[in-house]
């Protein structure tokens, strides 16, 4: 149970602004013989919930737009809104990618409805861990 908790925490942190990687923990546990389906479930839930933290930070930032210290200048915000309008919600399917945290935070700033956010991010995060599990299967033969 401690190992699974560690995977959950690693996956959770990996989806927040904290610089962390969960893939190493996932693959190490798979190499040690943990069932891939269980690892996929735990990591996907942790990573999706971690993305909810990043989304929440984006929502909070959205309320701070009028403050001097808001990280995006009006021109940058307009560019981000245009980028989002062009590519839309489907960008959330890339939330697993290295730049995914920015997409997740931007979805919070732009106030994407939470249920829709959760569905798309859960699909993306679970898909990533399924692919990782397949790679582990090929490498370790588990």
Q: Please state the domain extents for the chain.
A: 2-140
Q: What is the pLDDT of residues 73-121, one digit of tens each?
A: 778 878 888 888 888 789 999 999 988 998 999 999 889 999 999 999 9
The residue with tokens 């942790």 is: 46
Looking at the chain, how many residues does it have? 142
Which backbone phi and psi does 19 adopt, to 5 degrees?
Answer: -75, 110
Q: Which of 1-15, 25-39, 71-85 has the weakest average pLDDT?
A: 71-85
Residue 142: pLDDT band with limits 50, 70, 90: low
End-to-end CA distance of the chain: 20
- Percent of the chain past pLDDT 90, that is, above it, reads 67
Mean pLDDT across the chain = 91
Which whole number is the average pLDDT over 59-74? 74
pLDDT for 75 equals: 82
Torsion angle in degrees (nearest 10) through CA of 63, 44, 17, 113: -10
Lookup: tokens for 97:
């990618």
């Amino acid at each position: 149970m401690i190992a699974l908790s560690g995977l959950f925490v690693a996956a959770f942190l990996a989806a927040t602004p904290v610089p962390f990687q969960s893939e190493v923990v996932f693959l190490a546990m798979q190499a040690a013989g943990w069932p891939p389906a269980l690892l996929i479930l735990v990591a996907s839930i942790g990573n999706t919930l971690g993305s909810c933290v990043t989304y929440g930070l984006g929502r909070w930032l959205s309320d701070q737009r009028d403050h001097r210290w808001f990280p995006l200048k009006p021109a940058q915000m307009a560019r981000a809104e245009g980028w989002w309008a062009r590519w839309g919600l489907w960008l959330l399917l890339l939330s697993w990618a290295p730049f995914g945290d920015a997409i997740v935070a931007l979805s919070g700033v732009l106030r994407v409805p939470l249920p829709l956010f959760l569905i798309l991010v859960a699909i993306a995060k679970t898909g990533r861990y399924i692919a990782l599990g397949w790679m582990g299967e090929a490498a370790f033969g588990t």
